[in-house]
Structure 1
Amino acid sequence: MAWRPGDPPGRRTALVRVRTDSGLTGYGEASPMMGGDHSLLVTRDFSASLTGADPFDQAVIQDRLLHRYIKLGPEGAVTGALAALDIALWDLKGKILGLPIHKLMGGAWRNELPFYASVGGNAERGVDEMLRVVEARWTSEKPAAIKIRWDGDRTRQDYDIPGDIAKARAVRDLVGPDYPLAFDANNQYSVGGAIRVGRVLEELGYLWFEEPVQHYDVRAMGEVAQRLDITVSAAEQTYTTQALVDMISAGVRMVQPDIVKMGGITGLMQCAAICFAHGVELVPHQTQPGIGHVANLHLLSTIMHNTKPAEFADPDDRMLPGIPNMPRPSGGCFALPQGPGLGLDFDDAEIDARRI
């Protein structure tokens, strides 16, 4: 889905619609990598298996399809496609029963969820420009916390550690000594570089240090986590529960799987149980402005020990033509949708007009 003419792949949305013979439609969203093309290609092949299936069998459907296409993954395209399908089936179940997804999951602990402003693109910004962007989000959105993301070139390890530290200090000076801050390195440091930066972040009172080393180097991620006092988080690029357990076993105590990558709502429910059993914080990654974001709010509302705010990435109104009642931030929080399923209204004519 290209919501605006000329949208590059990173700005596109991979939507999946599942229709029932009664006329109801469930909507899901896949991982946005490569504009979602990789997942939608797999989703196309799911169709034959879904014809005649019962949407209340969403867990059976997910496992059956995962193992049918296991040799294409199990990480990446297949898991992202299954996430979209799973969210759509939960949306359908809610619409059939006339209940919001959080009710189907056992109930919400809270109907308003605080968020943190996730401010990306800082690898290429100078200190002054970064501060302007951070301050604009801080003053306009009133978030409960701010995370500064680097989004840099992962092939340039330890490229500008002094500059990164200077940016971290400048943001702390901007917001004051007690405001909650986080730092997302986007995998750009060596173990030694990560420890050097992490020590400064500890001094500055940052709450967590996200993916300091390459996500696939689980041993290195665990070493950094165990050698620093600051909470090290990881797993936004983890696609299976087994890989999540490996990350926890390595020593990571805050994990961030993503609902549009980790098997949708069913997958994140499994992650929540694993984290509860291991005494680990679950703080899901979420950068999608539409269905993924709302599905994540439903999931987060049902977690008793919800220790951190929800992620709200760089604001974007591009999905509003197709989803006019998208939740908006207000007073540092998002209100939990109360309508059936996701609680979203979809304008299929607008969505179809933007299909690629």
Structure 2
Amino acid sequence: MATPTTIKSIEALQVMWEPNEPPGRRSAIVRVTTIDGIVGYGEASPMMGGEHSLGVVRDFAPSLIGADALDQAVLYDRLLHRYVKLGPEGAVTGALAALDIALWDIKGKYFNQPIFKLLGGGWRTEVPFYASIGGNAGRTVDEVLRVVEARWRKETPAAIKIRWDGDRTRQDYDIPGDIAKAKAVRKLVGDDFPLAFDANNQYSVGGAIRVGRALEELGYIWFEEPVQHYNVRAMGEVAQRLDITVSAAEQTYTTQALVDMINAGVRMVQPDIVKMGGITGLMQCAAICHAHGVELVPHQTQPTIAHTANLHVLATIMHLTKPAEFADPSTRMHVAFENPPIPSDGKFTVPNGPGLGLVVRDAELKMRRS
């Protein structure tokens, strides 16, 4: 029997925000509508424009017409196992993340409650953020300082993470240069300001330990993905041999793989809501981390829908030990939202409107479909 939350339609949208925007800057958005006109929005990982995940959404969308949006966990597991032979990592879990976020958005709107209330309530109404600053492998020391200082002064973040984004086929390419940049940033912000270093998988085990020792001396608080993410044993070895907290798992897509990373010895994990099955998946990660005594600091690079969904989850975590990631300060997407998440004084406010709490301008999204 049909109810107000019965699914009427599912749309998979690749959105191009600016003319000739490259695929990696486009957004992969899912729009779910119920027969009573309740609309939920979700987002998938935008790698290559998210088309790999949007293709999965388009394939499963017809089978969900007539299903109840309130059954989001049942629908998630049913679809995961329908497409399990595709991975399930990557395209499948990205597609399911977008669907899951949209269904939670519908659930919150139906019950007239923000998502964090439906997840058990919030420990906080504001979440501090760290400025995630990428592209530093190709910059000189002076260029790194200029970029870091600009965002530090403008955004007043609670912490800063410098990312390398270098060529992952060249391990240990310029360790002295990397350490010099880390030293210069520390000198810029002072001894007490929280700093993190994201290697983006560019070191061997030996190289990672060498850099990690330097970061310990400089007082950096975490060292992210020092070795290739798929080499779980090596990641665990580096984590166990260094005193600095080593983090990983932004490219982990299942709870079982997350447990493997933890069992290897990693004590801070960073699954991403648009890769790890959405809100449902990230809440499962939170339970796993709580049980293992491991820090959960989600990776998050999308500035609107996924970012807001992530804030709802972070509001519910009792031991939130690190700030939330803020990787993209661009306002190009704000045109499609009446109330986009905007940082203030180093924090984001957790929305308290129904569902995600975002007011979306449908016409603007449709105009920008690529």
Which structure 2 segments of 5+ residues have no match?
1-14
Question: d(CA) in 2 for partners of 1:46 and 1:291?
Answer: 21
Q: Shift of residue 279 of structure 1?
A: 0.1
Number of the residue aligned with 2:106: 92
Q: Shift of residue 132 of structure 1?
A: 0.7
Number of the residue aligned with 1:257: 271
1:102 to 89, 111, 116: 116
8 Å CA contact 1:254, 1:283 repeated in 2: yes
1:209 to 216, 219, 223: 223
Number of the residue aligned with 1:31: 45
- Aligned positions of 1:282-293 closer than 5 A: 282-293=296-307
Structure 1 residue runs of 4 or more that deviate by more than 2 Å after TM superposition:
none
Question: d(CA) in 2 for partners of 1:168 and 1:6?
Answer: 35
- Aligned positions of 1:144-163 closer than 5 A: 144-163=158-177
Which amino acid in the other structure matches residue 48 of structure 2?
A: M
- Aligned positions of 1:1-356 closer than 5 A: 1-356=15-370
Q: Shift of residue 33 of structure 1?
A: 1.0
Q: Shift of residue 324 of structure 1?
A: 2.7
Q: Shift of residue 46 of structure 1?
A: 1.4
Which amino acid in the other structure matches residue 276 of structure 2?
A: M
Which amino acid in the other structure matches residue 328 of structure 1?
A: I
Q: Shift of residue 290 of structure 1?
A: 1.1
Question: d(CA) in 2 for partners of 1:258 and 1:118?
Answer: 14
Q: Shift of residue 316 of structure 1?
A: 1.2
Q: Shift of residue 94 of structure 1?
A: 0.5
Which structure 1 segments of 5+ residues have no match?
none
Which amino acid in the other structure matches residue 181 of structure 2?
A: K
After superposition, the C-alpha distances for 1:232-278 in whole angstroms (9 at most, x for unaligned) are: 00000000000000000000000000000000000000000000000
How many residue pairs match? The answer is: 356
Which amino acid in the other structure matches residue 175 of structure 2?
A: I
Question: d(CA) in 1 for partners of 2:104 and 2:130?
Answer: 26
Number of the residue aligned with 2:12: none
Q: More displaced, 136-145 or 278-287?
A: 136-145
Which amino acid in the other structure matches residue 122 of structure 2?
A: A
Question: Matched residues, percent identical?
Answer: 79
Which amino acid in the other structure matches residue 218 of structure 1?
A: V
Which amino acid in the other structure matches residue 302 of structure 2?
A: Q
SS in 1 for 2:63: helix
Q: Shift of residue 314 of structure 1?
A: 2.8
Question: d(CA) in 1 for partners of 2:287 and 2:118?
Answer: 16
- TM-score under structure 2 normalisation? 0.96
8 Å CA contact 1:287, 1:311 repeated in 2: yes
Question: d(CA) in 2 for partners of 1:5 and 1:92?
Answer: 31
Question: d(CA) in 2 for partners of 1:37 and 1:160?
Answer: 35
Question: d(CA) in 2 for partners of 1:106 and 1:314?
Answer: 29
Question: d(CA) in 2 for partners of 1:23 and 1:272?
Answer: 32
8 Å CA contact 1:120, 1:314 repeated in 2: no
SS in 1 for 2:336: coil
Which amino acid in the other structure matches residue 202 of structure 2?
A: Q
SS in 2 for 1:4: coil
Question: d(CA) in 2 for partners of 1:229 and 1:239?
Answer: 27
Question: d(CA) in 1 for partners of 2:17 and 2:67?
Answer: 31
